[in-house]
Amino acid sequence: MKSAKNEFRWSLFEELPVVGIMRNISKEDADEILPGFIGAGFTTLEVSLSSPNAPGLISGLVQQYGDHLNVGAGTVIDLQDLQVALEAGAGFIVTPVVDEDVIRYCAANGIPVFAGAFTPTEIVKAWKLGASMVKVFPADELGPGYIKSLKAPLEKIRLLPTGGISADNAQNYLNAGADGLGVSTGLFKADLISNKKWTELKDYLRRFGAIVKNHTQN
Within 41-169, residue ranges assigned H as helices are 54-65, 79-88, 100-108, 120-129, 144-151
Q: Which of 14, 27, 28, 135 is catalytic?
A: 135
Q: What secondary structure letter does DSSP report for 8?
A: -
d(CA 215, CA 175): 8
Residue 153 neighbours by CB distance under 10 Å = 10
d(CA 6, CA 91): 5
**Cis omega (within 30 of 0) for bond into 52:** no
Q: Which of 28, 46, 141, 200 is catalytic?
A: 46
End-to-end CA distance of the chain: 42
Residues in the chain: 218
46: annotated active-site residue: yes
Say if CB 21 and CB 162 are below 8 A apart. Answer: yes
For CA atoms 16, 19, 20, 26, the dihedral sign is: positive
27: annotated active-site residue: no
Which residue numbers are catalytic? 46, 135
